[in-house]
Chains A and B, each alone.
Chain A
Amino acid sequence: MNGRRHAGGTSGGGRGRGAQGQQQGKDGARRPMFRRRKICKFCAEKIDDINYKDTKLLMSFVPERAKIMPRRISGTCAMHQRKLRTALMRARQLALLPYTSE
């Protein structure tokens, strides 16, 4: 039970953090689960401005309940999550995106 093993899925390479080995569960049970290395979409696609008018892009970060998708799920880096948030809030003010789905 030595604590670390590498996340499967995408092979290494590339910069940034990401595929740091994951701690095994506390009872040492093996989880044969692949965890895809998460990549910040904006870094990967080199999208520099996250614009509130770009509803198509923003929509991919609001799941059904219309809440903002958390970083731990989307894999967005901190800087881009901040920018995404302001963009989403602006879009919400203009009723381009919902605050909530009924």
Chain B
Amino acid sequence: MDRKYELVYVVSPVATDDQVSDLHTQIEAVVQRMGGRIEKTENWGRRRLAYEIAHQKEGTYVLEVIHGAGDLMKEIDRRLKVIDYVIRHLVVRVDETEQVVERRRTTRTEQSRRRRVARGLAPDRQPGEGQRGEFEDERDEDDRFEVTEDIR
């Protein structure tokens, strides 16, 4: 059973960088042993926590996208619970939601194309056509996950 999961864990600032990378290799080993694979790893670096956890105000965030079975994630979850310098972790299954989002996006573009063709227009919107929507602004996608400083 191949499913896609996202794992985020927060490492206490007490831990050294070696420990953080060691943790990654540990997880990698478990994933490989149980027949999964890591799609990508993202280190968000040290960020301020929104609230204190174990008297710590900061933490190192690491995101891993993992393909594998539920048992694999269960095992990782169990291991992370045991390691005491991991102060938070979260496992989310993402493949189904991604599918839903993808489907919605394609139906929307198809619909708009069909409507436009029915009105005798080119299927795609031409640049400079139509009025700018009230909420339209240039949100570039990379901007979305940027680290924001002011966490109340």
| 0/1 interface trace, chain A 60-102, chain B, CB 8 Å (1 if under) | 0010101000000000000000000000001011111111110
Q: Of the candidates A45, A54, A96, which one forms a contact with B151 in the assembled complex, judged by CB atoms under 8 Å apart?
A: A96
* A-B complex: 5 closest residue pairs judged by Cβ atoms: A95-B49, A98-B50, A48-B101, A44-B135, A49-B101
Tell me whether A95 and B88 are in contact (CB under 8 A).
yes
CB distance from A12 to the nearest CB of B (A): 14
Tell me whether A97 and B135 are in contact (CB under 8 A).
no
Q: How large is the interface on A (under 10, 10 to 19, 20 to 34, 35 or more residues)?
A: 20 to 34
Q: Of the candidates A41, A45, A57, A98, which one forms a contact with B51 in the assembled complex, judged by CB atoms under 8 Å apart?
A: A98
Kindly state whether residue B97 has any CB partner on chain A within 8 Å.
yes
Known contacts A44-B134, A49-B101, A57-B144; A93/B151 CB under 8 A: no
Known: A44-B135, A46-B108, A48-B104. 5 other contacts (CB 8 A): A54-B144, A55-B151, A93-B90, A94-B8, A98-B151
Tell me whether B152 and A66 are in contact (CB under 8 A).
yes
Of all chain B residues, the one with the shortest Cβ separation from A101 is B152
Chain B residues in 8 Å Cβ range of A94: 8, 10, 61, 88, 90
Chain A residues in 8 Å Cβ range of B49: 95
**Distance in angstroms between the alpha carbons of A64 and B90 in the assembled complex:** 25
Q: How large is the interface on B (under 10, 10 to 19, 20 to 34, 35 or more residues)?
A: 20 to 34
Tell me whether A56 and B146 are in contact (CB under 8 A).
yes
Kindly state whether residue B21 has any CB partner on chain A within 8 Å.
no
**Distance in angstroms between the alpha carbons of A66 and B152 in the assembled complex:** 8
Tell me whether B135 and A52 are in contact (CB under 8 A).
no
**Distance in angstroms between the alpha carbons of A59 and B50 in the assembled complex:** 12
Of all chain A residues, the one with the shortest Cβ separation from B139 is A45
Chain B residues in 8 Å Cβ range of A90: 90, 92
Tell me whether A95 and B144 are in contact (CB under 8 A).
no
Of all chain A residues, the one with the shortest Cβ separation from B150 is A59
Kindly state whether residue B53 has any CB partner on chain A within 8 Å.
yes
Kindly state whether residue B68 has any CB partner on chain A within 8 Å.
no
Of all chain A residues, the one with the shortest Cβ separation from B102 is A48
Kindly state whether residue B105 has any CB partner on chain A within 8 Å.
yes
Known contacts A95-B53, A98-B50; A52/B105 CB under 8 A: no
**Distance in angstroms between the alpha carbons of A55 and B152 in the assembled complex:** 12
CB distance from B9 to the nearest CB of A (A): 9
Kindly state whether residue A5 has any CB partner on chain B within 8 Å.
no
